[in-house]
Amino acid sequence: QSVLTQPPSASGTPGQRVTISCSGSSSNIGNNYVYWFRQLPGTAPKLLIYRNNQRPSGVPDRFSGSKSGTSASLAISGLRSEDEADYYCAAWDDSRGGPVFGGGTKLTVL
């Protein structure tokens, strides 16, 4: 059981905009930054978003993050087939004294 809650799956067609949600509590998302990672099969996760909405260098602006209260979202616009992957959210958790992750969302590009 993950501390942060994500839908297990999401889907979209090429060119479409999709969003993936991440729900937490006041001890994590509510009072701390949110991070998003993408993981292709058999590879290590890649940082997509840090501090709620900041993109690391090299991450295209098709990816954007937002946070409101104890929930956060990752939006992907102009969906491409190569976006098909697992997406994880994360946040520092004050009660646990470390980062916690969501269970992951498998994005399928139809």
Run of H or E residues at 58: none
A 10 A CB-CB count for 106 gives: 16
State which of residues 22, 100, 107, 109 lies at the interface with another protein (CB under 8 A).
100
Decide: 30 and 70 in contact? Cβ < 8 Å.
Answer: yes
With CB under 8 A as the contact rule, which of the stretches 16-24, 43-51, 67-75, 77-85 interacts with another protein? 43-51
* Shortest distance (Å) from residue 22 CB to another protein: 12
Closest-CA residue to 26 (of 53, 55, 3, 44):
3
Q: What does the block give as tokens for 16? A: 């479409």
* Shortest distance (Å) from residue 62 CB to another protein: 19
Q: Give the separation between CA 18 and CA 38, rounded to whole angstroms.
A: 14
Q: Report the relative pairing of strands 46-49 and 34-39 from DSSP bridges.
A: antiparallel
Site for another protein contains 7 (CB under 8 A)? no
Site for another protein contains 41 (CB under 8 A)? no
Size of the site for another protein (CB under 8 A): 26
* Shortest distance (Å) from residue 13 CB to another protein: 26
Q: Which residues bind another protein (CB under 8 A)?
A: 2, 33, 35, 37, 43-47, 50-51, 54, 56, 88, 90-92, 96-104
